[in-house]
A = this chain, B = another copy of it.
């Protein structure tokens, strides 16, 4: 949420809650949109957040549950952790089933049972149904509350049913089903307004409905909604029975989540981590990546160790040693980022990936030449030794070529293995550029200095 919107209010609420002015804090909350309340709650310390939420919860259960839903499972966990399972159930049964499922999924298994048991039977079973589907699939993120009508209904019946359908806040399309509940058509709300009351839905519906199945990956769902510019996409089971709908607001969350995921994976971070994840959790999640990096750093050290004797003789090699791997790492990272993002946005297909490789090799060769000449000249001017300059130039050119090739091929290869290209690409690419960078520079350096 933008920082410009609620900082003053947040400060006021913070002071009120800290002083025990719960009633006045509630009065402020009561005037706000749930998403603003969530922004304020998210800004408070964990202790104050719990107190402020309790105030809201006691006075306005609906608003409290909406705010919790906006806060999301990660930042909401600390609030729920202090409540009884009765209280948690009372809140969760107010949420949309897909949002409630997000919260329940994050709880320990025994607490899940207890909470679902304490919820109203209808809501509990809706949540349980959603939890059957794997995370990040259409089935898991869909809302089972989908507005549908039979194909034999008339426009007049459709409008009257729409008027009766109270709690469906986001109806954009009317999905039309046959007698078995199979999805056969779609109509927009506006089309209803344009037709005569007695018209049958089956005569005006669009039959070519873009749809997904419950096991479709959420990233594909978001790409479909985004590229077809639609507001909602129906979800069907393997028998084409309409079982849910995913609306554009959920798609926006998926798009943000997937972008975060890619950025995090490129940096070796766990997808679940957020700015205010407790430090103990962050430590546990970041250490493995650092240990993997340590292992690759030792590989680098092993390469350098082969040249220990040469370095003892020509210590100047050690001075210039960091330059080539540093630049190689950066160039590799540029290529890698373009590729990973291009794959995520669906711009790279198998057909055009060769073109991408050719392009990156041309860039690597040119930039290797430009940066190579530059580094050689500067080194020569500094140390007055042409040999170091030439060695640096050549090593730079070679390393930037390797950076281009690995930066392109590693993510493509991972995708071919059906692994997220963002997940492990950077470790392979930087290891390659580090090893090759030291090897080229020290190897050429050892040869040249021994000979001239």
Contacts and interface: CB of A to CB of B under 8 A. Distances in A.
B223 A276 contact: no
Contacts of A334: 267-269, 286, 289
Contacts of A267: 333-334, 336-337
Interface string A304-317: 11001101100111
Contacts of A220: 2, 4
A264 interface: yes
Interface stretch (A21-29, A109-117, A119-127, A322-330): A322-330
A366 interface: yes
Contact of A337 (B172, B269, B331, B355): B269
Given A256-B259, A267-B333, A346-B3, A323 B298 contact: yes
A7 interface: yes
A42 B231 CA distance: 24
A251 interface: yes
- Name A's interface SS: helix
A193 to B, nearest CB: 6
Nearest to A160: B193
Contacts of A311: 311, 315, 318
Chain A interface residue count: which class?
35 or more
A256 B378 CA distance: 40
A169 to B, nearest CB: 9
Contacts of A294: 323, 327, 371, 374-375, 378
A159 B2 CA distance: 36
Interface string A344-365: 0111111110011001001100
Given A162-B190, A267-B337, A274-B338, 12 more contacts: A1-B227, A42-B347, A171-B190, A260-B345, A286-B367, A293-B330, A294-B327, A300-B322, A301-B320, A301-B322, A311-B318, A321-B321
Interface of A: 1-4, 7, 10-11, 14, 33, 35, 39, 42-43, 45, 70, 159, 162-163, 170-172, 189-190, 193-194, 220, 223-229, 231, 248-249, 251-253, 255-256, 259-260, 262-264, 266-269, 273-276, 279, 282-283, 286-287, 289-291, 293-294, 296-298, 300-301, 304-305, 308-309, 311-312, 315-323, 325-327, 330-331, 333-334, 336-342, 345-352, 355-356, 359, 362-363, 366-367, 370-371, 374-375, 378, 434, 438
18 contacts: A3-B350, A35-B229, A39-B227, A43-B349, A172-B172, A231-B248, A263-B340, A263-B341, A267-B337, A274-B347, A275-B342, A276-B355, A283-B367, A290-B327, A290-B371, A298-B378, A300-B322, A322-B322
